[in-house]
Amino acid sequence: MFQTLMISFREGLEGFLIIAISLIYLMQTGRRQLIPAVYAGVAVALGLSVALGILLAHIGALSSFWAGVMALIAAASVIYCTLHMMRMGRFMKQEITTGFRQTSAQSALRAWLLAFLFSAFMVGREGVETATMIATLALQAESSHMAIGAAIGVVLAALLAWAWVKFGRRVNLQHFFRLTAIFMTVFAIQLVFYAFHEFSEAGSLPLLDNAYWHIATERWGPEGEYGQWFSYSLGILPLGWLIYAYFADRKTMHGGQAA
């Protein structure tokens, strides 16, 4: 039970934090009409992940090659979103002040679909990884205990992401974008490293000794000692900084009013 709890918490944390950052971005830019699309994508991804987990428990886990492919796609998506947010950050204050421009029905539908697909893929990728890892434990423990542990882990990850939304949307935009740029850049690097690790396990790296590199990166992989703690710190440390920045901004604001 504890193993599945930690697996679902770690994987859910990464996916939900990306969603939390996306929600804060939509709130800050006046694009609240896209928030339901994000929630819909998360709901669909969670439902499909549960179904996949049940299926994999019977037929076996997802191959390492396809896990690596999904990690590379996710890394490209994260890098694109990071560059977009950094570019928009320069004009964020002006955009919030003047309000969000009205768009045509076609562009609005396209934006809704993009928000839906992005959130569904980011959460779904983590869901597939979670389902794959839990499926490998299916023959070693009672399934009801594993389901309880997985559910608790997802709830804990969702609560941590909720804290990001609660504090992040009240933090100075300059602080928020600096933090999220660092978080998403490091997260993208982690995804690329994870893809390399999975491809080496599948023996798909050309001109390299796949067995050597798989063993060499094992401790930094998703199930390795360093890889697990890296995932935890990726969510917890930035959240601590975000809460600190939130209260620091409030203190500065109250100090300015008192003066």
Q: Where are the domains of the chain?
A: 2-258
Tokens at residue 48, please? 């499909």
Instruction: Please count the other Cβ atoms lying within 10 Å of the Cβ belonging to residue 139.
Output: 8
Q: Taking all residues of the chain, what is their mean pLDDT, rounded to a whole number?
A: 73
Non-local (6+) Cβ contacts of 18 within 8 A are 78, 122, 184, 187
Mean pLDDT (whole number) for 48-67: 72
Three-state secondary structure call for residue 193: helix
User: Residue 220: phi, psi to the nearest 5?
Assistant: -95, -5
User: For the stretch 103-133, what's the b/e string if a residue is b when 16 or more beta carbons lie within 10 angstroms of its beta carbon?
Assistant: eeeeeeeeebeebbebbbbbbbbbbbbbbbb
What is the pLDDT confidence band of residue 72, given thresholds at 50, 70 and 90?
A: confident
Contact 222, 68 (CB under 8 A): no
pLDDT tens digit sequence for 82-96? 776 666 555 544 544
Which tops the pLDDT comparison, 186 or 117? 117
Tokens at residue 145, please? 């205990």
Q: What is the pLDDT of residue 161?
A: 77
Q: What is the pLDDT of residue 91?
A: 57
Which tops the pLDDT comparison, 56 or 207? 207
d(CA 11, CA 31): 27
What is the H or E stretch that residue 102 is in? none
By C-alpha distance, which of 168, 191, 154, 196 is closest to 78? 191
What is the H or E stretch that residue 196 is in? helix 173-202
Instruction: Please count the other Cβ atoms lying within 10 Å of the Cβ belonging to residue 221.
Output: 19
Contact 46, 164 (CB under 8 A): no
- pLDDT above 70 covers what percent of the chain? 63
pLDDT tens digit sequence for 152-169? 888 888 887 787 777 766
d(CA 32, CA 75): 25
Specify the residue for token string 């800050």.
Answer: 28
By C-alpha distance, which of 121, 166, 160 is closest to 24? 166
Q: Which of 17-21, 28-32, 102-106 has the lowest mean pLDDT?
A: 102-106
Q: What is the pTM of this model?
A: 0.58
- Strands, E, within 2-113: which ranges? none
Which tops the pLDDT comparison, 218 or 41? 41
What is the H or E stretch that residue 208 is in? none
Confidence check: pLDDT of 41 > 80: yes
What is the pLDDT confidence band of residue 145, given thresholds at 50, 70 and 90?
A: low
Confidence check: pLDDT of 99 > 50: no
